[in-house]
Structure formats: C-alpha cells, structure tokens
Structure 1
Amino acid sequence: MPQRPNILYIFTDQQSGAAMSCAGNPDLATPAMDRLASAGTRFDLAYCTQPLCTPSRASMFTGRMPHECKTPRNGQSIAEDLRPFELGRVFQQAGYDCFYGGKWHVPQIAMPPENDHGFRVFAGFNDRLLTGACIDTLRAWAGQPAHSRQPFLMVASFDNPHNICEWARNMPLPWGEIGAPPPPRECPNLPPNFAPAPFEPEIVRVEQACNWVIYPYRLRAPEDWRQLRWAYFRLVEKVDRELGRILDALAELGLQDDTVVVFSSDHGDGHGAHQWNQKSALFEEVVRIPLIVRAPGGKSGVCDHNHLVSNGLDLLPTLCDYAGICPPPGLRGGSLRPLVEGREPPAAWRDSLVVETIFDGGRGYDTAGRALRTRQHKYVLYDRGRYREQLFDMERDPGEIVNLAVESRHQELLNDCRRRLAAALRETGDPFKVPAPEPGRDSMTGVQ
C-alpha cells in the first residue's frame, strides 16, 4: 500500500444496514455494494451515533458523540472548539487535497463553497449531478503530473434513499421518479417484526402520532407498508447504481490500488419494522447502518460479525491511521484498519457502544433516549412514559420483540445494563439520566 493512500468516503442517507443484497436481503439487488464488500470487509455490527442527519454527520466528521458536538438536533453547527479538529481540517493540514460533494446538513444542506471545514466543494446538494462531478474531479486530479499532486480525501454524500420521505407523503421525488409500485402481492412481504411489540415504550407511538409529516404511514394498511418497502428498496438500488459508476471510474483511472474506499450511511430507516417509517426511534433497523471498507492490503470478502463499530466514532481514527496522521486528541473511537487487514487491534476492542436520540421536528414532545448495545444484548431507555425501558437478547431475538425488562427474573441483567450505560454517559459528559439499579423491583409497571 502507498505510504499515503488516497481516500474516498461515499455515504448515503437513511440506509438501513440490512438494505443490501450482500447482507442477505432478497428484496433488492445492490451489485456495487456487493462488489465493494467482496473486495473488502463488511462490518455487520455497525451503528450510527444518532439516527438523525445533522447529529450523525457531525459525529462522523469529528469522531465525537452528538452531544459533545453540541448538535443533538438537525440544523445545528459543530461546536466552535471542535472545528479545528474536523476531518477535512485535519487532512488539509496534513497535506491532503480535500474534496466534498453532495449533502452536508451541518447545518447547511449543502457545504458552502467558502467554508472552514477544510474541503473544496465540487458539487452541491444534487444526487443527479453528484456522480458526474465526482468522476470529473477524480479525472482532473489523475491528470496532474504525478510528482506534483498530493493524495486526495474525497467525500461523496448522496441523499438517497432519503427520498422515501417524499414518496411516503406522495410528493415528487427530487432526484427522479422510480415508477408506480406494483400490486402488493408483487411487493416485498412484511418483516417478522412488523407488528409493534408488547411492552413497547408508549412515548414512541405518542411521538409518531404527533407528526404526520414525518410518520404519514402510522395508520396505513399492511398492503400500503409492502408498497413502501418496495419503494425504499428501489431507492437504495438507485443510489447503488451511482456508487457503481464511481467505482468503475476509480478503476478506469488506475486509482483503485492506491485508494482506500469506505462506504456507509448516516442512519437507517424503519421501512416497516415495528410499523415504523423514517428514523429517530432506537429500533435496530433505524440505528444499524452499512459499513464497508476496501483498502490496499486489506482482506477480501470478509464479513465481521464480532466487533461493535460506530461510524461516528471510528471513521476519523480509521482514516487517520491509513493516512499516517495523528488523530485529534481525546477521541474514543478506534481504527478499523487492523480488522480490515486481519490483525488484532492494538488495544482491546469495545464491548459496548451507545446510540443517542431526540425526537426532533417541532411537533412532539422532544423525547430523548439512549441505547446501549453489547454483543448479545440491547438496552433501550427513553426519558418518559410507561415501559420506557427495553432489554433484548439480540442473539435470540434480533427483531426486538420480547422485552426482558418487564420480567423480574432479568432484573440483575437490567441493573447491569443501567450501570454500564450510566458509566458510558459519564465518560462523555452526557447529562441524560439513567435509573439507578433497584434489585428485586418489578418493572412490569414501567420504571419511572
């Protein structure tokens, strides 16, 4: 591998981790994502830091949790004291040519041409034009004399499959239509966890009922949900074709062997699980995201089921590792490079991670929540309402149907998850309140 490789980071908006055919999903075909996974490592247990655009993106570009960035909601700017340590600034100072195209949303929907994020903007917020502009920029860079050019860091940020939001509201799709859905019988079936589970946090449905603009499918029939799933998968396929064009250009320009390629998304989408569309809730389909790394010197065709990965915390350390750049101080994420190369990381990998949320949008109750994910269990906590705690055995119950928090026999496990979440929040200065362990308490009535 070259001493300082080029780096290409491509990410989508609102793509669930299972929305790829290489993840075993038979309801769509994603040959470009599959091709990338077959030549690299796909991280199966990859999560966002918050299932909302601005907070998640702020994390990816700083390596910190959204509350540390002061970006818990959409439309907020990264804290001033963290700006010098953003991804683009760090790489620019290290001598990389840094390019950005597509959706930004931190807070502007498109990154301004004149900015202090360290990037030169080659395309605005427009999925129709992004791929061509990306290829033109790669071609112009490759056309420079080899002795005079610096390695590049390029970010291509697509909006799709976010257009499922417009589709659900029966609005025109900004980046091109996908056609009328076929009859429900020809659409993907409903997921096994389509029905809301018993002992679900009541506040989730309260928030859903408050905001038709975000959750227009709340009262729709199962047949309608099947057509929504059809549309969602078509939008993923649409953006997969753009990814394929970029990967083809990288190979045609002779840059493939010198370039680290990372593919991910800012957060997922419910697409029918738990009768949920869109984001914000802490369901697995919403917080788990795709993450693929293809790099010179890396293993091929690997699916990592063993390591909990946060694209918001681990992206910046990973790219710094490949570039030979000292990462900013105080980061809690780790580099994925050893895992991609089939080596053990230099320090013990995390045994849990945290996802935070707030129901943003101005029409509900601003409900906040946190999730603790370990290899086997997932603990979910919202800040109000009955059954605000959930506990799942993710190995036996990946659909999050059986809430163990309502069974007194699991009180010890529940208390352990409370302690672990509280400790993790203290480490980052997160003020969110976690219930104290209460041995023997029957949580059937809901912890208050």
Structure 2
Amino acid sequence: MNVNVQQRPNVIWILVDQMRAQAMSHRGDPNVSTPNLDRMAIDGVNFTQAVSGTPLCCPFRGSMLTGRYPHLSSVPALNSPLSVDAVTVAHCFRDQGYRTAYIGKWHVDGNRPELDMKDPRNNKEVRFIPRERRGGFEDWWAYENNNQPFHCYVHTDGPSGEEQLFRLNGYETDALTDLFLDWVKRRSELAPEQPFFGVLSVQPPHDPYVAPAADMSRHRAANVELRPNVPPVAGIRERAQAELAGYYAAIERIDFNVGRIRDELRRLGLDQNTYVVFFSDHGDMHGSHGQFRKMAPWEESIRIPLLVSGPTRKSYKTQECPALLNHVDIAPTTLGLCGIQPPASMQGFDYSPWIVSSNTPEQDLPESAYLSLPVPTAMQTGLIPEEGIDRPYRGIVTRDGWKYVAMESQPWLMYNLGEDPYETVNLAYNVFYQAKRRELHTMLLAWIEQTEDTFVLPQSPDSPAWKG
C-alpha cells in the first residue's frame, strides 16, 4: 500500500447527543454562552442549515458511520445492531494508514438476537462490545448507551486483549474528554508521523439534563426564554423551562471541553494539521409545538450544529455554508477533507470542497435533503415508547426554504421556512398552495426512488385530487 501518511491531516469528530442547532449563542439563543463553539463558527466553517435526516440516536449513528440512509444502513431503528459487514468511515481511514479510536457512546450494537437481554452482563451501560462489532475502530473506550452522566462506565481492552470495565470519575463529558486528550497525546508521542481519526462521543445534553453544580448554578428555570412556537400552556412551558435550565448547563460544559481539546491541539503543535468536526445526532423539541424530545420533523428536532475547524482556513472572515449537510454526508465529507475517495457504498454527498475553499459556487450544492423516520420507537415491541412521533414519515427540506413531510398515504406538513421559520402555519392542505405541494411531492418521490426506499407516498400528484 503506497500511502503518504505524513501529508494527510488528522481528523477529530466531537459528537454530542440531542443538541439542537438553535442552542448556541452565535445562533442568537439568549439562554446560553458558548464562546468556544462561537469561535469555531468564526474561524472555521459553519454549516448553518445542517440536518439530522433521521432525528433518532441509533439510525443517525448508523448513517453517520456508513454514509447510507437508515433503511439501508442496517440501523433503521432504535437498538438496531450495526452489521459486521458494514463498511464504515473507520475502515476507510484504516485502509489509508490512519490510527482510529472511538471514545464514549456507541449505541449501534443494538439488541442482538444472540444476546440474552435479561443477563445483566448484556445491559447497555456495561456490555462489552467485541472487536468485530466496533465498526473498524482500533482503540476503544466506550459504552453502548447510558443516561446517567454522573454514573458512567466504559470498557476497553487490557494488555492481553481481556475485557476491562471501569467507572468514569465525575461528569461524563469531562471524563471522556480526559480519556480522549490522553489518547491524542499518546498518538503524538508514539507515532507522530501517523495521522489519526478519533471520535469523542458524549451523551449530554441528552436528558436527564444535568451538569456539574457550577454550570447548573448559572441557570434558573424561571429565567429561561422559550422559543415563540412553545404554546401558552402552563404545563408545557413550565416543563420546558425546567428541562432547558439543565440542558443549557450541559451545553456550556460541552463548550468548555471543546475549548480544552482545541487548546491541547495547539499545545501539541497539531492544530495546523487537524480538522475538528463538531456536531450532534439530532435536536430536542423542548416544548415547541407542544412536543418534547426528538423524532419529529420540526426544526428544533432536525437542525443540528455542524462546525468544522482545520488547517485549510486562510482568514477570519466568517464562512457560513448554506448546504443541507445530512447524516449520510458526514462520512464522505470527512474522507474528502483528507483526500480519500469515499467507497461506492456511501450514498452521501462530499461537501469537503466547500470547507477547503470558500470560492466553490453555491449552485453546485444539492437543492434538498431527505428526511425519514423508518421505525418510530412506539412501533417496536418490547420498548417503552419515547415521546415523539408514533408513525413513520418521509420528507424533504429544500435549500430555498421549503419543507414537505408525508406520512404513509397522507400529506402531513408543509412550511415556507423563509417566511415562517417557527413553522406556525401548515400549508399542506391549503388549496392556494396545491402547485407547490405537487412540486415538493415530486421531489420527495425522486428521493424515495433514488435511495431505494419502499415508503408509500400519498396518491400521485398527477391524479385529479392534486390538480388545482
């Protein structure tokens, strides 16, 4: 293999859970201070329209790793196991001589049929995930899933390959960042000539919405300003404010640790040869439209932060990219930053040219992004349904600011986001917008065919019922 590894940049993914794009100070949220993320948005590339095409943890992560849509990635639903045959972004980096590591929440080992889920050793918080089920990652300090950020266990391999399980000290975000920084430092010392791809995946700001006391002390529920689309219903508003107080505290702790990582890269002399990609797997409704948590196709659920800092940045002129970067695009874009051709199995779009050069024409960007919820948790037997949508849907969001979503055999939502950013007026059944609905319906149908999906859309736009 003739690979000039010395000239390849390093890549770091910082992945957080359930952080919506609107919850950063540079996006105008008055409740939170995120100076380190704000700095990334200024001295890096800010994808202001990035989306989580499937706003649910496991399906997003399967697409993030494989570059394939959830219905084809082997991870269409909550607790679906990633196939051992899946080609992931880590495999691609390893083939090019990179060292790979995954630290933190995994959540694609799933409820495998060969596991006795009643056996406490297979509990998601402490389960040992064997090497062949790690998606090609070599170095490993991870857990399948956990919702207790002050009581978090990770497992790794001992000197002889034996299983090692230990509890993190303190708050998960801090402790996982410690592990990640230790790994980066060791890589720079042991093999300074070998590039690396490392993933830091933390559960916060996912519920239960808690953070260290110093962060929590800065936020009071009564002082939280809600988005305009949270309805004037006392119970919804009180709950949203109470949960958001902890949510914002957790985000500020994330921001602090992003700063730690970037500072350490500078100290080690790696900052000019390392891309840092910060993103979330989906958002959180927090009372908007009377909804909570994720899975929904509204803006608070599907819009995610996606910031990239790296060695190709030449000036401090703010670079905002309006691309609808989706979950399937993250892997091919990351590979593209390193000059690696994505494999044919990846369905996503490579946005790396828009990161490397700000002169790339906007007209070359895809016009829309595909939204889907193949399997809501309420449809899965044996699970306690999460709050959110209880039936499948498919949809699109367009670069010129339209959104159209359909349930099986029925239109559901249509918004003009340019005029109605808080989605207060559903135009799906408005007779004056039939022509626009036909146009968006045709675009959605093209996505379904292109991605080999089997979802059944409403009747054809050529039928009499669609004609104005």
TM value normalised by structure 2: 0.80
Rounded to whole Å, the distance in 2 between the matches of 1:285 and 1:80 is: 33
Query: Deviations 1:120-154 (Å, cap 9, x if unpaired)?
Result: 234224424211111111111111254xx410001
Shift of 1:190: 2.1
Shift of 1:114: 2.3
Shift of 1:346: 11
Structure 2 match to 1:21: 25
1:382 aligned to 363, 385, 407, which one? Answer: 407
Moved more, 102-111 or 69-78: 102-111
Query: Deviations 1:264-292 (Å, cap 9, x if unpaired)?
Result: 01111112211222101111110110001
Structure 1 match to 2:103: 101
> Do the aligned residues in 2 keep the contact of 1:111 with 1:121 (CA within 8 Å)?
no
Structure 2 match to 1:360: 377
Shift of 1:80: 4.7
Rounded to whole Å, the distance in 2 between the matches of 1:91 and 1:377 is: 36
Structure 1 match to 2:224: 188
> Do the aligned residues in 1 keep the contact of 2:62 with 2:74 (CA within 8 Å)?
no
SS in 2 for 1:160: strand
Closer/same/farther in 2, CA of residues 107 and 145 from structure 1, 3 Å limit: closer
Structure 2 match to 1:403: 426
Structure 1 match to 2:164: none
Closer/same/farther in 2, CA of residues 286 and 111 from structure 1, 3 Å limit: farther
Shift of 1:378: 0.3
Aligned residues: CA RMSD: 2.7
Gaps of 5+ in 1: 168-172, 197-217, 444-448
Rounded to whole Å, the distance in 1 between the matches of 2:218 and 2:256 is: 20
Alignment of 1:10-409 (within 5 A): 10-81=14-85, 83=86, 85-107=87-109, 112=129, 114-116=131-133, 117-125=135-143, 126=152, 127=172, 128-144=174-190, 146=192, 149-162=193-206, 165-167=207-209, 173=210, 176=212, 179=216, 184-185=221-222, 187-195=223-231, 220-299=235-314, 300-304=316-320, 306-310=322-326, 312-340=327-355, 341-344=357-360, 348-357=364-373, 358-361=375-378, 362-363=383-384, 366-375=390-399, 376-383=401-408, 388-409=411-432
Give the letter for the 1:191 counterpart.
R
Rounded to whole Å, the distance in 2 between the matches of 1:354 and 1:17 is: 18
SS in 2 for 1:404: coil
Rounded to whole Å, the distance in 2 between the matches of 1:87 and 1:139 is: 23
Rounded to whole Å, the distance in 1 between the matches of 2:216 and 2:322 is: 39
Shift of 1:294: 1.0
Shift of 1:90: 1.1
Query: Deviations 1:148-188 (Å, cap 9, x if unpaired)?
Result: x41000111111101xx224xxxxx5x75664796654x22
Closer/same/farther in 2, CA of residues 404 and 355 from structure 1, 3 Å limit: same
Closer/same/farther in 2, CA of residues 136 and 106 from structure 1, 3 Å limit: same
Rounded to whole Å, the distance in 2 between the matches of 1:107 and 1:302 is: 39
Rounded to whole Å, the distance in 2 between the matches of 1:264 and 1:408 is: 39
Closer/same/farther in 2, CA of residues 42 and 421 from structure 1, 3 Å limit: same
Shift of 1:442: 8.1
Query: Deviations 1:87-117 (Å, cap 9, x if unpaired)?
Result: 1111111110001100010125578362352
Rounded to whole Å, the distance in 1 between the matches of 2:313 and 2:176 is: 28
Q: Which runs of 4+ in 1 moved over 6 A?
A: none
Shift of 1:344: 1.6
Closer/same/farther in 2, CA of residues 134 and 396 from structure 1, 3 Å limit: same
Shift of 1:324: 2.1
Shift of 1:221: 4.5
SS in 1 for 2:132: coil
Rounded to whole Å, the distance in 1 between the matches of 2:333 and 2:47 is: 13
Give the letter for the 1:374 counterpart.
T
> Do the aligned residues in 1 keep the contact of 2:236 with 2:287 (CA within 8 Å)?
no
Closer/same/farther in 2, CA of residues 79 and 347 from structure 1, 3 Å limit: farther
Query: Deviations 1:44-67 (Å, cap 9, x if unpaired)?
Result: 110012111110000011111111
Shift of 1:195: 2.2
Closer/same/farther in 2, CA of residues 182 and 92 from structure 1, 3 Å limit: closer
Percent of counterpart pairs with the same letter? 32
Closer/same/farther in 2, CA of residues 181 and 261 from structure 1, 3 Å limit: closer
> Do the aligned residues in 2 keep the contact of 1:99 with 1:119 (CA within 8 Å)?
yes
Closer/same/farther in 2, CA of residues 349 and 2 from structure 1, 3 Å limit: farther
Query: Deviations 1:228-279 (Å, cap 9, x if unpaired)?
Result: 2222211111221122211111111111001011110111111221122210
Shift of 1:342: 0.8
Shift of 1:415: 1.1
Query: Deviations 1:335-385 (Å, cap 9, x if unpaired)?
Result: 22221221326993210111111421445695101221002200012237x
TM value normalised by structure 1: 0.84
Closer/same/farther in 2, CA of residues 79 and 415 from structure 1, 3 Å limit: farther
SS in 1 for 2:433: helix
Rounded to whole Å, the distance in 2 between the matches of 1:69 and 1:295 is: 29
SS in 1 for 2:353: helix
Closer/same/farther in 2, CA of residues 145 and 433 from structure 1, 3 Å limit: closer
Rounded to whole Å, the distance in 2 between the matches of 1:305 and 1:323 is: 19
> Do the aligned residues in 2 keep the contact of 1:411 with 1:439 (CA within 8 Å)?
no
